Chains A and B, each alone.
Chain A
């Protein structure tokens, strides 16, 4: 099947490329663009390790065809912060011990960001509910919720300038 040209914004930068229609968005990120922060866990939309933000909303990139990125604004964990300048959520996850094996962390961070961007001061149960599509088999979630709550108490998750 013929390739399709797609245009979208990835971590703030416009990008244009040709993709096969059967290519999954997560494979485009990891294998073609080298952005391996987005993980593949179950591959069926259950675990949330592949979570990315599409127009600010958390979705499973393992269930998304790359062609569907066309025209959208997409943020992956690479768009949150870097080694020199971490995002407040990343700092809080480290400080609160919310990272163990780390496999769920990128997806967890993005789900947290999608919550704080629309609801900067969520209640604990709203946090739990919002990360219910991100499985963590290490932490037991308490420290992850603590970390997100910490950022919420500091005034939400807006990007640092």
Chain B
């Protein structure tokens, strides 16, 4: 490993540093970047350690939204009282990342920036309608999370841009969200398939839904067609089963060392079915959250 090490202490300093810089990689918890550098998959000339920037840390509740700093670790996310109350599915997803050691170092922003199709927090974030704020010396833009991923390990971030924050919608009364993951083992297992669902149930019918799957294609995906199909339907087993079937038919997974494409399709079906079942169950519970 050989690189120039930079450790900006503020976003202003970071934006100025990245402006015009060539061949750099941002470093947060290091649980992906360090492995890639050791395996010589990447060898950036500049390593920019953002972990000392205070304004990228913490979780804040704002009107109708929750702000997650990109440097929030998976451990902080799974331990956060406010997140457990308002986005328990995301906390569950964070608790499924790697191992305790990985969760103590790895960050949510890093999980997004690394753009692994198997990232565990991403389907949960997608189901919670996450928006990502991208900043640079030239300004700021807000993007829906699913627009950020362009391929395995690749994001739409332009040179000079960094993830400045993540907004998610809290799960309100009459709504529910769930996350599920299939891995080879109970811990330290890269997901074979993971997924999450969010639903709103009013008057005994589903009035809105969001479904996301990971590890079934080059990027995590939203199942927009199935989401639309669900609207106006009753939250019942036959509907969940049909939604699962649609998921199986729409995804284009690959064969790899962890699983065959065919089996991944079946797991996608089960994941969607189970997540919808759990999410609607939560949505229809008498509200105890206030």
Chains A and B belong together in one complex:
yes
CB distance A133 to B3 under 8 Å?
no
Least CB separation from B100: chain A residue? A133
Chain A residues whose C-beta falls within 8 Å of the C-beta of B35 in the assembled complex:
44-45, 63
Residues of A within 8 Å of B102, CB to CB, are 45, 60, 133
- B7 and A63: CB pair below 8 A? no
Number of interface residues of A (CB under 8 A): 28
Return the chain A residue nearest B73 by Cβ.
A57
Note all chain A residues with C-beta closer than 8 A to B4. Answer: 1, 21
Cβ of A136 < 8 Å from any Cβ of B?
no
Task: Tell me the minimal C-beta distance from B201 to chain A in angstroms.
Answer: 33
Contact digits for A24-54, partner B, Cβ 8 Å, 1 yes 0 no: 0000000000000000000111101001001
Complex alpha-carbon distance, A21 and B5, angstroms: 6
A155–B100 Cα distance when bound, in Å, is 23
Which of B2, B49, B187, B188 contacts A68, CB < 8 Å? B49
Supposing A21-B5, A43-B38 touch, asked if A133 and B98 sit within 8 A by C-beta, the answer is: yes
Q: Which A residues lie within 8 Å of B217 (CB)? A: none
Q: Which of B5, B75, B100, B104 has the most CB of A within 10 A?
A: B100
Contacts of B51 on A, CB cut-off 8 Å? Answer: 68
Shortest beta-carbon distance from A85 to chain B in Å:
27
Per-position 1/0 for B37-50, Cβ under 8 A of A: 01100000001010
For A64, A65, A134, the residue with the greatest tally of chain B CB atoms inside 10 Å of its CB is A65
- Which size class do B's interface residues fall under? 20 to 34
Does B1 belong to the interface (CB within 8 Å)? Answer: yes
Residue contact A4 to B5, C-beta cutoff 8 Å:
yes
B47: which A residues are within 8 A, CB to CB?
21
B98: chain A residues at CB < 8 Å are 45, 133
| A143 contacts the other chain (CB 8 A) | no
Please measure, in the bound complex, the distance between the C-alpha atom of A125 and the C-alpha atom of B273, giving whole angstroms. 28
Known: A4-B5, A45-B101, A59-B104. A65 touches B30 (CB 8 A): yes
Interface residues of B in 96-153 (CB under 8 A from A): 98-102, 104-105
Q: Report the minimum CB–CB distance from B121 to chain A (whole Å).
A: 17
CA distance A65 to B4 in the complex (A): 13
Contacting A at CB under 8 A, from B1-51, are 1-5, 7, 27, 30-31, 34-35, 38-39, 47, 49, 51
Report whether B30 and A63 are in contact in the complex, using a CB–CB cutoff of 8 Å: yes
Residue from the list A1, A60, A111, A130 in contact with B105, Cβ < 8 A: A60
Q: In the bound complex, how far is the Cα of B3 from the Cα of A21, in angstroms?
A: 8
B165-199 vs A, CB cutoff 8 Å, 1 = contact: the mask equals: 00000000000000000000011100000000000
Residues of B within 8 A of A (CB): 1-5, 7, 27, 30-31, 34-35, 38-39, 47, 49, 51, 75, 98-102, 104-105, 186-188
Q: List 28 A-B contacts (CB under 8 A).
A: A1-B3, A1-B5, A21-B47, A22-B2, A43-B38, A45-B34, A51-B101, A54-B104, A57-B75, A57-B104, A58-B104, A59-B101, A60-B101, A60-B105, A62-B34, A63-B30, A63-B31, A64-B105, A65-B5, A68-B30, A111-B101, A129-B100, A130-B100, A132-B100, A132-B186, A133-B101, A133-B102, A133-B187
The 8 closest A-B pairs by CB, nearest first: A133-B99, A132-B187, A21-B5, A63-B34, A57-B104, A133-B101, A22-B1, A60-B101
